[in-house]
Chains A and B, each alone.
Chain A
Amino acid sequence: MLSRVANNLYWMSRHIERAENTARLLDVTYRMSLLPYRILEPGQSWAEPWALPLVINGLATAYYERYPGPLSAENVLRYMVLDATNTSSIYSCIQSARENARTARGAITSEMYEDINAFWLELRDRDFDGLQARGVSGFFDWVKTRSHQFRGVTFGTSLRDEGYSFIRLGTFIERADNTARLLDVKYHTLLPSVTDVGGAVDYYQWSALLRSVSAFDAYRKVYRDVLTPMRVAELLVLRDDVPRSLHACMNEIYDILRDICEPSSREAERLAGEIHAHLHYGRTEQIISLGLHEYLMSFIEKLDALNGEINRHFLVPEYVTAPEPGRAGMTQASR
């Protein structure tokens, strides 16, 4: 398939996944902020849950340029939801996803295009005041539902071809990156050392983190016990039966790359295999001895390197010469 088209499919699903993740995070942050107690000590970084969406997306500086003064929930929402100047806002992500879909329109089913186009048209007509009036949680649920729906339409209508592989690749790379960053920032601010034991209030923080990745019920089912930071980390890093965990994402990524890689692009497959093996054979104790932050940083770096390999081999290749003899043979075989 055309590299440019593959690139658009990859980014179409990354953008949608990113919008969904942002909606999830903003939603739990919002729910947290509604809790009736105020026992957080002012001045502590984690007393500012609204900073989290900005920190994760690397947008703190850009945000303060746009909204100088003290951080406010409303401004963060404005910035992250419908602000067209913020390329990571839900608005911009869906706009980009729809533009990717439009450009790659020949490579997706008409149901998929219809779905993402309707998503964009409905989102475009929203305004922030109306959104607040009707309740932001309803809006976040809607974004999640639309994202689920698009994934479902994709799953239900797509030919299982290369294009489908790149769509899924985009989803899982974005998801893995998001889970890793979320866990890192939250852990870092909550527990400077992974063996620290948090206070009673932390229960809400941890449950919020789990809820933001739809893993709260999973935790209950798997551990049938109280929330502990260690288990949260284990659940979101090492368990492969939790769909948004790093391990689950890498299972998918590794599978897809094993499927689409050829001799010349084996480095992408090898790298994915290496990251996958770390998770597959990893143990919680190792993570603790290395330090969760260090562990996650290393994961994010490797994932980034993998993204680079995927770009180099599949999505934005640079060559202007005739194919090598071996390649030409491959091409001619199909003629």
Chain B
Amino acid sequence: MNKSALEPESAPPRSQIYNEMHDVDGSVRPHYERYAAWLTDKPLEYMLQKQREADTLYTRLGITFAVYGDGGGVERSIPFDIIPRILRPDAWKTICDGTRQRVRALNAFLRDVYHAQEIIKAGRVPAEPILNNNLYRREMCGFDVPGDVYIHIAGIDIVQTDRDRFYVLEDNLRTPSGVSYMLENRRMMMRLVPELFARMAVAPVDHYPDVLLDNLRAVAPPGIMNPAVTVLTPGPYNSAYFEHAFLAQQMGVELVEGQDLFVANDVVYMRTTRGPQRVDVIYRRIDDDFLDPVAFRPDSVLGVPGLFSAYRTGSVTLANAIGTGVADDKSIYTYVPEMIRFYLGENPILSNVPTYRLGIPDDLQYTLEHLHELVVKEVQGSGGYGMLVGPAATLQEIAAYRERIVANPASFIAQPTLALSTCPTFCGSGIAPRHVDLRPYVLSGRSVTLVPGGLTRVALREGSLVVNSSQGGGTKDTWVLEE
């Protein structure tokens, strides 16, 4: 949840901003009409009461994320907004087709860079940012993952700037989180306003855990009839622990920590009350570096010694595969449209945000001249750390950042500040537009699919474009209307 989606701090002029509910003349867009009709006779007190009910329920249900520091024990709820974000069927189709296309291409790219490296040989993507990338796992070269699936779960962050214009902000291909909020937000809305679901054809998302389990079972090592699937978590103090436990419970599989697993003769077992039991598929929510202290970081206490060796023999499947990080690196992001053309022979359905690669002299020069209006990020940064938001930065911050860029231009990219769309959001004293993004979850295994929905994050502060939960961001239920 800490991955920052949207960086630009200061908003573009209001007139350019696309309001998803209201047209510029103030009329309600067709796909919001039924909601607007319902909303129109609801007094403020009613909305306040629903909001309080939601807040109480989230605390009582223990839907929280842990905040690091303070002894590791602090848990908070992510603010939930009671006004749903509604998507037209055709908009969803674009998002759905576009993200599936993207994940198929990214998966082909991963298979390629760990095998023949055709895309590099063809000169379509330079070798350097891939092979010298520290997220590139040489250990994976020549290894065939089951079903050729690397990215079993992807979270693709998308923003909308106009009625039909969608941009991909980033591809999260390692251990994307937040899907539990998609599911819990829906349950909450059905509890709070069941009558709305009777009036509107909202596509269901509840089957996500079933689809996930089905896909995970499909990628089990060959020859196993009834594969044992587990979810591997760093433990209760991880910020996404609630989600790990939630998904394990919803799938009906064991939630394991590193200490629950051991490897013997390159087979992974879990310690159970009935002795060791074999594990076939691990949906791991631990980063590559911490998975196995023998193969990767020796100081990791979260991992399982010998896991990588077992993985290499094919006795256990990891989801996502090891080494997917090289494809969600921000310097690689710029090549995704090229991957789509190269591997699929198709034109990209979703656009990338125009991105300046500062290793290129022209791009660097332009960026240095326009720092006050651009967003600059480290190519391997994530979670919104180590970036410059030009429009919101002070002159000193810009000057300091300029020095960092000049020292090592190739490790930075720059993007223009986007005019994110807004959705009506309940603010306590009334309803006001707030900027949103969307993270749908793409599942691969048996096939490449999405459930119709995703996590909508909303910047609760007026004018803010930062939807990050650690910076005052909240979430909304996302309603995809059925045709």
Contacts and interface: CB of A to CB of B under 8 A. Distances in A.
A114 B256 CA distance: 22
Interface stretch (A61-69, A245-253, A318-326): A318-326
B37 interface: no
Contacts of B231: 106
Nearest to B245: A105
Interface string B259-295: 1101011010111111111100000000000000000
Interface in B346-363: none
B405 interface: no
Given A322-B276, A323-B275, A121 B59 contact: yes
Interface string A300-335: 000000000000011101011111000100111011
Contact residue range for chain B?
A: 35 or more
B60 to A, nearest CB: 5
A322 B273 contact: no
Contacts of A315: 273
Interface string B233-277: 000100001100110110000111101101011010111111111
Nearest to A109: B249
Contacts of A1: 254, 272-274
Given A2-B256, A106-B245, A114-B62, A322 B269 contact: yes
Looking at chain A's contact residues, the main secondary structure is helix
Contact of A320 (B62, B256, B257, B262): B262
Q: How large is the interface on A (under 10, 10 to 19, 20 to 34, 35 or more residues)?
A: 35 or more
A331 B385 CA distance: 46
Contact of A322 (B241, B259, B260, B265): B265
B254 A335 contact: no
Given A114-B62, A322-B269, A335 B225 contact: yes
Interface string A125-162: 00000000000000000000000000000000000001
A260 B273 CA distance: 9
Contacts, number: 94
B110 to A, nearest CB: 30
B273 to A, nearest CB: 4
Contact of A6 (B242, B248, B269, B273): B273
A2 B61 contact: no
A256 to B, nearest CB: 12
B224 interface: yes
A315 to B, nearest CB: 8
A264 interface: yes
Contacts of A2: 254, 256, 260, 270-273
A4 B278 contact: no
Contacts of A47: none
A233 interface: no
A319 B271 contact: yes
5 contacts: A110-B249, A114-B61, A264-B275, A315-B273, A322-B276
Given A3-B271, A317-B271, A327-B276, 12 more contacts: A2-B254, A2-B273, A4-B259, A5-B254, A106-B254, A106-B255, A118-B60, A166-B273, A315-B273, A319-B276, A320-B264, A327-B275
List the 7 shortest-distance A-B pairs measured between CB atoms, nearest first: A322-B264, A105-B245, A106-B255, A106-B249, A106-B248, A323-B276, A314-B273
